[in-house]
Structure 1
Amino acid sequence: MPPRAERAARAEDAADRLRTSAVEAVALTWIDNAGIARVKAVPLAGLRHAAEWGVGAAPCFDVFLADDATTTSTHIGGPTGDLRLYPDLDRAVPLAAQPGWAWAPADRYTQAGEPHPGCQRLFARRTEAAAAARGLSLKAGIEVEWVVALTGSPAEPPVYPTDGPAYGMHRLTDLSDYLRDVLRALGKQGLTVLQVHPEYAPGQFEVSVAPEGPVAAADTSVLVRHTVRAVSAAHGLRTSFAPVVEAGAVGNGGHLHLSLWRDGRNLGHGGPGPHGLTAEAEAFLAGVLDALPELLVLGCSSPAGYLRLVPQHWAGAYRCWGLENREAALRLVTGSTGERAAAANAEVKCFDASANPYLAVGGVLAAGLAGLDRPRALPPELTGDPAEAPPGTVPRLPGSALEALAAYERSAVLREALGEPLYEAVRAVRRAEAEQYAAAAPEEVAAATRWRY
């Protein structure tokens, strides 16, 4: 963290910039281990003090569940203690759909000025720095999928504002003013939108933005979701990013795209490996593929996520990889001929939007770097639907939160990367939520979580 005087000067500059957009208050957000965005807000006049001294926030949020119940862990939990939120002023931006407000992600430190060992964003920063120490960088992007419904009470099932078919122009036409305002707001906030389109489920849409570094990509996914929710509210709609909105239907993913780079070169292109992978990129992806069962604890956080993670729904329910294979948990994307040097990437399809994005990107990066430490080739590629392969030939990913947690508890890589306090807090939250819904029917799980994300 920069010295206090430098933070104060930068805060004054940021406040001057935000004041020109008529900003009156700044929302400082962090994401807890249940994947819920928590917030403290300060008036613009208080931004300098927040940058100098931080804003108080209790450490017990690290053991909150999605429904605001709490658990405890070995190192974190209970009513005692306090932390400080420090805004990342480089990411501070006026919120186009919330006039008078700005947003900035926050890092969490102790009152003594030490990094909080449970801070998920600082964890992602550490893994990004570990890659940089090897001369590697990662470009990442998180697809944001959501379902929009008419307003109503939380107990009511969703009523959709369009009956247009999946991926259909009908659906876009019905909500063209709404989607235009989503694009307009994202653009005003400095985000580069690559595409927006109707998705498969009723009332479902997806937006993709340009790739960035891992921490920046996680920040952007948070900002995109805040923006979509605010635009929806302005149109009299409510939004769900939950893994499933209705049990049995296709759910909302939070697919992570990533590419590995060295000295300005995309290591996913021009190499001797499968489909042009270099040896480094192949070893990195082999590490990710091997760790997917335990990575689900970070990327498929809610028990509701396992209602989405089923075969033949393009959710990536099988631990396999393949070129443009949307049923594989790890999909290789080369891009079109002529743009592959820039476009080649891999997509982790088994993640959803209940994830804390900082844990997701940090965990994937840690697993990939561990793959570089014990380099090996990827297993044979799967070219068809894994559900139609001979039984037992293609391994399924865990089918429940408790199965994923068992894999997580065996993972030395994630335990070391996260550090003991964060590792234990994540484990405590996952176990508590798994037990909370252990006896619930799928419809009950969907209903309990659909408006929490």
Structure 2
Amino acid sequence: MEPASRTGASRDERVDRAKELASHLALNHVTAIALTWVDNAGITRVKTVPTIRLPDVTAWGVGMSPVFDVFLVDDSITTSPDAGGPVGDLRLYPDLDRLTVLSAHHGWAWAPVDRLTQEGDPYPACQRGFARRMAAAATERGLSFQFAFEVEWFVGDDAVDDPLGIEPATTGPAYGMSRITEVADYAHEVLEALQTQGVPVEQFHPEYAPGQLEISVAATDPVAAADRLVLVRETIRAVSHAFGLRASFAPMVQAGSVGNGPHLHFSARAEGRNLFAGGDGPHGLTARGQSMLAEIVARMRALCAISAPSVASYLRLMPQRWAAPYQCWGRENREAGLRLVTGTRGLEDAAANAEIKCVDGSANPYLVIGAVLALALEGVDAGRILPPEVTVDPASLPEDRQPPRLPLSLPESVACLEEDEVLRNALGEALFGAFVAVRRGEAALFSTSTAEEVVAATRWRY
């Protein structure tokens, strides 16, 4: 059976294209290609092949075990009803449309993969396949989505005299220009590498915590947005290594401080119209746009298991740290789980979008995007109305008027996910079972650990 193709091209046509690409790569002294996927622990895993093998890999894939679906963050292995153990095999097929020469990895190229069975059928637990299915379902409904992750990270290293501490590469004031001065050459290399790789950067700035930086990239289609996040992170990691530094995208890098949150922005259009602008609803939301966002807010506690899926996530989701630990929404409210961004007056149709803030660096971007799409599709024509807007810091309200808190722990969020039929059905039993097994395995792994121990154990894993 022919393996599935995003473009619909035949195997022979794909192989011919792979031969052309391999020749081009060889002329540019690219000797190897990294083929990546992101597992249920949120770790980017890889297999690599010599460039000369790209045509063969495009035709027949690269073998891998399905056991990776039940790897935990520390590389220990659990089991689920459909994954675990030494038996079975899958095939990794590179997406040639995403093939990129890596500027910061000399002699390397990169491509994300789709995971198929040995018979060439879609593998039901493939996270990228899940995002693709949801994107295709949106297209069938006449909807067009654009997504973009913000990318926050810590750059520095372990503290020499403290086994649980860190040494940031920047120590100037939060958002201060002095931080740019401290890492100007490093930042230049990051930005230049991304530009060379065709990643459109919209903003770059130092963030709040020492050593914390942020890049915002342009929005693109759903699957490409997740691919782009993987590429950006690995580029930053490579540049950091070249400067003798380490990069961490973990939810928390220092217990008790603020964490990293690759907040997710998205917009939705139908018949050329932005569903988040020009309507009669709150702040210009159309009826379909409001219903879509209301569905997401209503199911945000279950979504947290996917968007904030690690034990460390719940060390970050604290009030008054701009981590948005509340199940509510508000226009430009950065402590609300969903922030409505209307854009500058006159640019609403182009700029209006929603930001899901309860997302962190331990999340699998394909699962997050697929889950958001599933909820958006569930709600778009359901006639839902948003709850009352929260226009202040939720923590400043009297306790009896505060919106509900998002889950306070990983087991709590997983329990919410298990009860949510929409997300469970969208994921499918194989992917759902493996994902929940990993989440429960990690909860057990750190059940007796202190916050400091959790942070130290996961700091450099993401």
- The corresponding residue for 1:52 is 59
Contact 2:339 2:354 survives alignment (8 Å): yes
Change (3 A) 1:392 1:84: farther
Instruction: Report the AA paired with residue 438 of structure 2.
Output: V
Cα deviation for residue 373 of structure 1 reads 4.5
SS where residue 23 of structure 1 aligns?
A: coil
Cα deviation for residue 374 of structure 1 reads 2.3
Cα deviation for residue 19 of structure 1 reads 2.8
- The corresponding residue for 1:16 is 23
- The corresponding residue for 1:73 is 80
Contact 1:151 1:236 survives alignment (8 Å): no
> Please, which of 406, 423, 426 is the counterpart of residue 432 of structure 2?
423
> Please, which of 134, 142, 145 is the counterpart of residue 152 of structure 2?
145
- Residues 308-323 of structure 1 correspond to what in structure 2 (within 5 A)? 308-323=316-331
Figure out how many residues of one structure are paired with residues of the other and give that number.
453
Distance (Å, rounded) in 2 between the aligned partners of 1:155 and 1:81 = 40
Contact 1:55 1:84 survives alignment (8 Å): yes
- Cα deviation digits, residues 44-88 of structure 1 (max 9, x gap): 000111100000110000000011001000111111000000000
- The corresponding residue for 2:118 is 111
- The corresponding residue for 1:408 is 417
- The corresponding residue for 1:267 is 275
- The corresponding residue for 2:252 is 244
SS where residue 440 of structure 1 aligns?
A: coil
Cα deviation for residue 40 of structure 1 reads 0.2
Contact 1:32 1:356 survives alignment (8 Å): yes
Distance (Å, rounded) in 2 between the aligned partners of 1:111 and 1:398 = 39
- The corresponding residue for 2:348 is 340
Distance (Å, rounded) in 1 between the aligned partners of 2:11 and 2:365 = 28
Cα deviation for residue 372 of structure 1 reads 2.2
Q: Is 2:139 the partner of 1:120?
A: no
Instruction: Report the AA paired with residue 5 of structure 1.
Output: D
Contact 2:164 2:452 survives alignment (8 Å): no
Percent of residue pairs bearing the same amino acid type: 57
Distance (Å, rounded) in 1 between the aligned partners of 2:95 and 2:322 = 36
- Residues 205-284 of structure 1 correspond to what in structure 2 (within 5 A)? 205-284=213-292
Change (3 A) 1:435 1:156: closer
Moved more, 197-206 or 370-379: 370-379
Change (3 A) 1:388 1:219: same
User: Which consecutive residues of structure 2, in runs of 5 or more, have no partner in the other structure?
Assistant: none
CA-atom RMSD, angstroms? 1.2
Contact 1:18 1:93 survives alignment (8 Å): no
Cα deviation for residue 358 of structure 1 reads 0.1
Distance (Å, rounded) in 2 between the aligned partners of 1:141 and 1:195 = 12
Contact 1:287 1:369 survives alignment (8 Å): no
Contact 2:70 2:437 survives alignment (8 Å): yes
Scaled by the length of structure 1, what TM-score is found? 0.98
Distance (Å, rounded) in 2 between the aligned partners of 1:162 and 1:149 = 8
- Cα deviation digits, residues 401-421 of structure 1 (max 9, x gap): 000011001010011101100
Cα deviation for residue 20 of structure 1 reads 3.7
Cα deviation for residue 13 of structure 1 reads 2.4
The list of structure 1 runs, each at least 4 consecutive aligned residues, that deviate by more than 3 angstroms after superposition, is 150-156
Distance (Å, rounded) in 1 between the aligned partners of 2:165 and 2:388 = 43
Q: Is 2:114 the partner of 1:101?
A: no
